[in-house]
Structure 1
């Protein structure tokens, strides 16, 4: 365990998203009295990212609802927010962060909350002005304008990637009445995170709302005219006209600063359960991290829950406290009128049990590996989702027949 910060030592936090903001607040509430500087390279103050592909993109929520913290609230806590400020290097020997304007900030403790960046595609035409990723507020604003243009001119939308971002944007576009085609390179939607039965259910959900799905698709190039994408050309000869191409092909950890500074990085900035990096003065939290587990493997989690809890662990570590984050991870996704809530990690599951009727008003899929419950995916089934988190935290595995029996009280297993 590292020695705690001096009570008046300056802390610099690179990244003003969920993890960075909450780390700043946790440091202050944890008793740190020194300067805390929160650096954000975007021109906006801290905001919520999940609504970007849904409510914000659809125009259903305004700026006030998007904001995570207004600058005045941070200022009251003695946290200095600097927006539009980019860190370009970390000098670990001098304990300074160099900024793009040539100035430097000293630190006694440093938090890296640099998040992740959308992956791109090395395709001819992918640099067209209306080929857009979705990660930031500005990305979402550009995409909203492109959707409005598609609606005005009755132009189709092509989404590349059948993951959560791609499908959430597809649902938003369909709700606006736009023609949508989703191109997925794999054999099923959300193949890395969902069981086949749920992948099929989501495919039916989107097809039922008028989305065309092209699975195992191969893109030859994006047809551009005058710097603007007008179609996506597939290897099989199909040519899909479009007014917008959405890039939803995943993200990569923003770990370049950490790598250049000599910190251990592999799939992201390597941290322990307390968010400590290979430098005792530097912690990291959020989508830029890869947690080293007891068996030596690495776990990357991209979620609000992970960012929130790692931020608290990172702040505690700088304060000289142990606060390991090992809780059951959970995630969610909203598509049309359906909310998917996921608890645990279903990778490697070899058996499944269904509670409720697949496609009914509410249902949940329980995932097992070697007879042990490892995850539960719930659709419009919030009560079971919350119960599943408790079961997973307690290490309780209901038998598949108990799960399938709607009359069996799963909560009773927690009282034993």
Structure 2
């Protein structure tokens, strides 16, 4: 009987082992996770779970009993310290386990503030895992002052929860505008207005100079000299692929663990999937940070371990919930040259990204119909007439059969 080991018990790892059993794999399967709980959903952590609207067990991707029922050995609270590729073993402290196939689903890690500017003070948090959110949750009391560093989706989602709970929220973004790395100015404008309407003070083009406090954070000095009093700080300045284990094993790294179209790494019998990987996409190599990608790529790797020989065809889509707005994103806007706005009633809007007349991506706010039509067009390699898109009264559905 072969032994398949999956390192990383997040969305990708849990999806991989479940898919293996679902397609008839009868081999020995071990799923190893560093956290002391079964695999769980991460997106609700900074929203429903932090708000108290979702309990711990509802976070779990599957009941804990699932793994025993499926004869999957789940080892939580366990750190893999090394991979010995030459002997096909993984080390867990003093223990070693042999593998026939190894899958790395190690995910990503938040970028943290350096200790030199106060990043090690008590009351400074990242939003990445259950322990992070459990630690900061008691701080979310009405009237408290929170500084959020970073105007990406993580920072904006944290700001929306804090504002809804009655905290005084200041958000600083070093770039010229929030969401500058991932969205067009139109989308930035939309969410800036949304947050300011809920009382969030957004400071763009302003960085964090340092945090102040004696052991615990009590204030911040911004790059323009402004001093802000704070009760705690949330850092949302991006994430990086978790590649330390792979790199130490001699696996090729290229903005993540480099895999081929079928999920193989540069070392035989070692595969990788999810946030930690970079993979071929059309005419370039990319890395995606999303739940759908983690599921799709890890399930494909499971099939390929069983001999399917399939190439991964990514279908990028993402979402973000802020206040009563659901943002849905289809496609990748990299290299866009034009943006077409479609304004609906109230908070309904969508922004369509084009490059030389070709549709690349859609940002849809409270507009699931525009999102779904845009997604189907992009996946089919079709474009959309910009004039029809811009006309809020025009039906978009005929674009699918054009």
TM-score category, normalised to shorter length = over 0.9
TM-score by length of 2: 0.97
Aligned pairs for 1:157-168 within 5 A:
157-168=146-157
The aligned residue for residue 266 of structure 1 is 254
The aligned residue for residue 364 of structure 1 is 350
Q: Does structure 1 conserve the Cα–Cα contact (< 8 Å) formed by 2:281 and 2:314?
A: no
Runs of 4+ off more than 4 Å: none
* Unpaired stretches in structure 1, ≥5 consecutive residues: 1-7
Q: Does structure 1 conserve the Cα–Cα contact (< 8 Å) formed by 2:107 and 2:241?
A: yes
- In structure 1, what is the Cα distance between the partners aligned to 2:323 and 2:399? 34
Cα deviation digits, residues 157-182 of structure 1 (max 9, x gap): 00000011111011000011000000
Which of residues 241, 246, 257 is equivalent to 1:253? 241
Cα deviation digits, residues 322-370 of structure 1 (max 9, x gap): 232223200000000000000001121111112234x733221111011
* Unpaired stretches in structure 2, ≥5 consecutive residues: none
Aligned with 2:253: secondary structure?
Answer: coil
Which of residues 90, 99, 110 is equivalent to 2:92? 99
Which of residues 100, 105, 112 is equivalent to 1:108? 100
Which of residues 217, 232, 236 is equivalent to 2:224? 236
Q: Does structure 1 conserve the Cα–Cα contact (< 8 Å) formed by 2:4 and 2:102?
A: yes
- In structure 2, what is the Cα distance between the partners aligned to 1:307 and 1:293? 15
The aligned residue for residue 406 of structure 1 is 392
1:76–1:334 CA distance, 2 compared to 1 (3 A): same
Q: What's the RMSD between the two structures over aligned residues?
A: 1.3
- In structure 1, what is the Cα distance between the partners aligned to 2:223 and 2:184? 28
The aligned residue for residue 20 of structure 1 is 13
Q: How many residues in Structure 1 have an aligned counterpart in Structure 2?
A: 401
The aligned residue for residue 381 of structure 1 is 367
Aligned pairs for 1:1-16 within 5 A:
8-16=1-9
Matched, 1:308 2:295: yes
Q: Does structure 2 conserve the Cα–Cα contact (< 8 Å) formed by 1:303 and 1:331?
A: yes
Q: Does structure 1 conserve the Cα–Cα contact (< 8 Å) formed by 2:149 and 2:208?
A: no
Matched, 1:69 2:62: yes
Which of residues 322, 326, 334 is equivalent to 2:321? 334
Which of residues 188, 203, 207 is equivalent to 1:214? 203
Q: Does structure 2 conserve the Cα–Cα contact (< 8 Å) formed by 1:23 and 1:312?
A: yes
